[in-house]
A and B are shown apart, each in its own frame.
Chain A
Amino acid sequence: MAQITLKNLAHSYLPNPQSETDYALKEMDHVWQDGGAYALLGSSGCGKTTLLNIISGLLTPSHGRVLFGDRDVTDATTAERNIAQVFQFPVVYDTMNVRDNLAFPLKNRGKDAAYIKARVDQIARMIGMEAWLDRKAQGLTADAKQKISLGRGMVREDVNAILFDEPLTVIDPHMKWELRTQLKELHRQFGHTMIYVTHDQTEALTFAQKVVVMYEGRVVQMGTPEELFERPAHTFVGYFIGSPGMNFLEADVQGDRALLPGGETVMLGAHYGPVAGRVQIGIRPEHATLVASGGLPLTIRRIEDVGRHRLVRGEVMGRPLNVVMPEGMPVEGLPQVAFAPQKINVYADDWRVVPQEEGAA
């Protein structure tokens, strides 16, 4: 096991990348802690799979280095890196039975038969396929096949990391929960570094200790679920995490207050230095409340009841704004919306601006 370091890493699928848009991965510097459970989150086509394949060695990056511990593995093969990877769609060896499928990575590495048997039995129990061990893998259902793929990914104990590329896409919902729980359990038990690619925020937030959010080939934030929720580093993280995403309003920030185009003032929880570029303030729907007065005028378009809370969809000065209301709280007679000052973030050209106190601390 090892810490994974990405040094000035970038990748382009083109032979002669000219501009930044030619890069599937923009230059990045990151350290992935040994034994961490990471989720790689982002919309389709943002470079998640590219990054994953570079870490596993299926793809050689066009720029930069990959280090496992102190060892430079940029040009090392997948086998040398000793990595396990599970793919989005099930990959099973059709002509083998389930047992041989699970044993395959161990056999190829010349482990002895007794060890293989014990290990395969253990994994089979974990993925709930004990009764199926002597069946041919061909003709099994997609989720049974994917469980075999997962099992094959986990069967080796000495791997440096286990990478999952949206592994639960084909699994039905109740099984998803179960398998995800098992993966977490496995992580707790063996402490493998795990990197889990997904575009589903719930999956990412429940699985990982640290979530890495990618946007257009760039890692825009790497943080705990709480950090992503409270202090999104980029407006994309604000949109992408949370349901619905963060509200953004154009504003002019001066010191500890934001001036909106309509002339209203919003108090901020911190003091900001001069902010240049396109400035926006961001507030989570959960941190906005309807009030009788003292806030911004809100035009309510629609109210959705989503179970434990109600979602108010409205507009402030022509800009859409969502508010999450606790259940049972009346909406009538509250024509304005107020924000919790401490929960407001300021963005310049989509990137979060660090307030002076936080920056100094």
Chain B
Amino acid sequence: MSEPWEDDELDGPVRKFMYVNRRAPYGTIYALESLEVVLIAAAFEQDVSLVFMDDGVYQIKKGQNTEAIGVKNFSPTYRALEGYDVEKLYVEKESLESRGLTADDLVVPVQVVDRNQLAELMEEQEVILSF
């Protein structure tokens, strides 16, 4: 099912990519289009990690129902990430706590890290994309 624009070359070194999701899932398109980047990027076999912080933690909250706003609920797609070998999911502890959430409220298993640990993880990255 290859489209002409998907014939990208896979050469070059493996780099550490981090995708930082900071915004609520609906209201703007950033969260959805960020997820689209992550799914495409998976084909490049890079060292990928995802971060959810600030209102971005709502992107992976359980029990989303978007019927009333007429927008597609894309939260089930996050559960497919494992199948794409995207397994390093980090959630900022402070962002969860300030919103009254815990890891049990999320649709995917994540590693909860505090702000300082997250800063260290960011320090290790080569490419950081923030949405």
Asked if A and B bind, the verdict is no
